[in-house]
Amino acid sequence: MGSTSSTLAKIPNAEDLMQETGFTPAHLVRLYDRFKVLDKDKKGFLTPQDFVAIKELAMNPICDRIIGAFFTSGGETLDFPSFVRILAHFRPIDKNRPKEPTSPDPINSRSNKLKFAFQLYDQDKDGKISRHELLQVLRAMLEKQVTEEQLESIADRTIQEADLDRDDAISFEEFRKSLEKVNIDHKMSIRFLR
Amino acid sequence: RGFAGAVVYVWLSVVLGLIVLPAMFGVSLGFTDLYVKALVKTLEWATLRIQRGQKEEDAVPAHLPNGIIEKDDGSMEEEIGELRRSHPKSLAGGDFTLCDAFYFCKKGIESIVEDQVTQRFTSEELASWNLLTRTNNNFHYISVRVTIIWGLGVFIRYCILLPLRVTLAVLGLSWLVIGTTLVGLLPHSNVKTWISDLIHVTCYRICARALSARIRYHNKENHPKKGGICVANHTSPIDIVILANDGCYAMVGQIHGGLMGVIQRSMVRSCPHVWFERSEMKDRHAVAKRLKDHVADKTKQPILIFPEGTCINNTSVMMFKKGSFDIGATIYPVAIKYDPQFGDAFWNSGKYNMVSYLLRMMTSWAIVCNVWYLPPMSLQDGEDAVHFANRVKSAIARQGGLVDLFWDGGLKREKVKESYKEEQQKMYSSMIVGQD
């Protein structure tokens, strides 16, 4: 009789993946099923086109950047472990996890969630959000709805507020500081219902 | 050889005597009701055993939510507003903040894990297992007893029910083809129409028995009348059998080749249906004209149309194509809701072809569904076809307990329009720069 355990057996290195990402077996199976649904041509990996085929994603203003977060270093194929590792950023923060100073941060820590979001802005990965990069994001989110001058003034204002060391760019630390009161766990987490 | 002959003889007489003949007269011997009651008891028992076996997992809710992740229902404004409230500086009027991107990011990731459109094209999941292998997602091997019952179920479904059902289906369809061809030879008269209706209804009744369908019709006083158009939500080709069991409709559709074509051609000999060649379907005006002509003739049966244009999984209603709402006829909305406990009626045309689908239908326990006839609706003054279509859609969704979606079912094949993205951008920009 079909069940979670038989699908789990189909996933390579399931144990390691669960350990690394913190997903439960049931969630991992659901993500695997979803991966297979998205992989319409049964290639065994996903391409950017498979993502664009998701209607709700295609209508998202920053759709390209989100897809870009999955296909780092310019690759065009995404296998299941990488798919899951990225999605692991959006697991709710485990409040009960003991704090071991020597162990690395879990993928879904507050800090890593912020890093993920930072990455959406910092496309050239130099560790800073330049004015130019900020403008690009703004343009993606607003496109024809505002004028170029308005975009520039918004970018200027934002940098002015967040940029503490006056280098005309927002570093990760400044990004983190500016958002310290935001409830990251709630806003950057996805909860499985079952 | 005498023995085999005797078996066939007995078999056929049982089928004819106990099923076909009563079906023709619209009499129900109550077998299906008894069967369904027994089924319910068995499934309840199986569920209890399974729940007892499930120790580690938390209690599964009675109605599984349709979806695997929790989604915030707030609008863009609410969500981004919440994000900004925790921002140290209070920004009057709404400027951009770095955390705004979180909203879009989260929505994007949510849609990657689960999106509204794809979800509607896979079968609904059940909270408790109904002893069909195909629906077993959440459940592990439980106990010997459940396995035995499941095995028994397989035997009953494949070795007893399936042959019976196939026999019935063949009988029903042959009856339709032969009967309508014969009736077609008669001259036009009231008698001809009456006989034709009888033949059609009988065929559908036999087919309904072939699926072990138990259908409940509600609000029969709103039954579609001649000269009107009946619209319903679409889940599978079986919808036609379900609806036509309670009255005659004029079908609309494309002429197919093969067996389907034979059936279509013979049907139209006895009473007018609206069949189109593939090339004609593209010409919207020609289609509209034929529908209008049919509707104008008050002696013809009401037209049956499924405006979604494709099969949806019976948890929601998708966008109605406005073609049928532009004709100016009275619309009789009908809501069809299948009970997934007994068999999943949804036809996932990407996954199964027609034959595999029918095989699955005939090896399910039963098809149990409710049909609600809604009060007739017409185009109101100053209303356009799209608005009217949406109004009808909402009424059907509300009655059937289905989710009312604005998405176009055709989207499962096509690309998203740029205008959807622009909508999002417009909404967001009004928060940033106000209504400049």
pLDDT digit string, tens, across residues A64-81: 888 888 887 777 889 899
Q: Worst-scoring range by mean pLDDT, A49-53, A148-152, B414-418, B430-434? A: B414-418
pLDDT, position A73:
74
pLDDT, position B331:
92
Confidence of residue B226 (pLDDT cuts 50, 70, 90): confident
pLDDT at B246 over 70: yes
Chain B residue with Cα closest to A49: B415
Chain B residue with Cα closest to A59: B421
pLDDT at A49 over 90: no
Q: Worst-scoring range by mean pLDDT, A67-71, B86-90, B125-129, B307-311? A: B86-90
User: Where is pLDDT greater, at B223 or A73?
Assistant: B223
pLDDT, position B257:
75
Confidence of residue A105 (pLDDT cuts 50, 70, 90): confident
Q: What is the mean pLDDT of chain A?
A: 83
Q: Does B91 lie at the interface with A, CB-CB under 8 angstroms?
A: no
pLDDT at B129 over 80: no
pLDDT digit string, tens, across residues B336-348: 999 887 777 888 7
Residues 31-60 of B with CB under 8 A from A: 57, 60
Chain A residue with Cα closest to B420: A59
User: Where is pLDDT greater, at B110 or B420?
Assistant: B110
Which residues are B333's β-sheet partners?
A: B231
Q: Does B351 lie at the interface with A, CB-CB under 8 angstroms?
A: no
Two structure tokens written together for A86: 């990225």
pLDDT, position B335:
93
Mean pLDDT (whole number) for B52-65: 50
∠ Cα B153 B212 B311 (to 5°):
100
Mean pLDDT (whole number) for B26-47: 76
Percent residues over pLDDT 70 in chain B: 80
Angstrom distance (rounded) from CA B57 to CA A24: 11
Angstrom distance (rounded) from CA B228 to CA B216: 22
B225: left (phi over 0), alpha (psi -120 to 50) or beta: beta
**Closest-CA residue to A72 (of A116, A131, A10):** A116
pLDDT digit string, tens, across residues A120-172: 888 888 888 888 888 888 888 887 777 888 888 888 888 888 888 888 888 88
Pairing relationship of beta strands B367-373 and B213-218 according to DSSP bridges: parallel
Give whole-number Cα distances, A99 to A19, A89, A96, in Å.
16, 18, 9
pLDDT, position A60:
86
* Chain A residues touching residue B131 (CB < 8 angstroms): none
CB contact under 8 A, B98 and A158: yes
Which helix or strand (DSSP H or E) is residue A176 part of? helix A172-178
Confidence of residue B332 (pLDDT cuts 50, 70, 90): very high
Q: Does A42 lie at the interface with B, CB-CB under 8 angstroms?
A: no
* Chain B residues touching residue A193 (CB < 8 angstroms): 65, 67-70
pLDDT, position B370:
92
Instruction: For residue B356, give every residue at least 6 positions away whose Cβ sits within 8 Å of its Cβ, in sequence order, or none.
Output: none
Angstrom distance (rounded) from CA A91 to CA B84: 22
Percent residues over pLDDT 90 in chain B: 7
CATH of A107-194, one of 3.30.365.10, 1.10.3720.10, 1.10.238.10, 3.40.190.10: 1.10.238.10
Angstrom distance (rounded) from CA B315 to CA B124: 7
pLDDT, position B412:
59
Instruction: For residue B251, give every residue at least 6 positions away whose Cβ sits within 8 Å of its Cβ, in sequence order, or none.
Output: B240, B267, B273, B274, B275, B303, B304
**Which residue carries 């399936």 as its tokens?**
B162
Residue B69 has φ and ψ, to the nearest 5°, of -125, 155
Mean pLDDT (whole number) for B137-151: 68
pLDDT at B349 over 50: yes
User: Where is pLDDT greater, at A40 or B90?
Assistant: A40
**Closest-CA residue to B200 (of B224, B223, B184):** B184
Confidence of residue B152 (pLDDT cuts 50, 70, 90): confident
CB contact under 8 A, A61 and B99: no
Q: What is the DSSP string of B51-96?
A: HHH--SSPPPPSS--SSSB------HHHHHHHHHHTSSS--SS---
Task: Report the complex ipTM.
Answer: 0.88
| Domain A1-90 and domain A107-194 have a common topology | yes
Among B50, B54, B64, B68, most A C-beta atoms within 10 A, so best to mutate, is: B68
Q: What is the mean pLDDT of chain B?
A: 79
Confidence of residue B93 (pLDDT cuts 50, 70, 90): very low
Chain A residue with Cα closest to B139: A3
∠ Cα B370 B376 B380 (to 5°):
140
Asked: is A1-90 a CATH 3.40.50.11900 domain? The reply is no
pLDDT, position B334:
94
pLDDT digit string, tens, across residues B356-381: 888 888 888 888 899 999 999 998 88
pLDDT, position A194:
62
Domain ranges of chain A: 1-90, 107-194
User: Where is pLDDT greater, at B109 or B56?
Assistant: B109
* Chain B residues touching residue A141 (CB < 8 angstroms): 100-101, 104, 425, 428-429
* Chain A residues touching residue B108 (CB < 8 angstroms): 57, 60, 62-63, 66
pLDDT at A29 over 80: yes
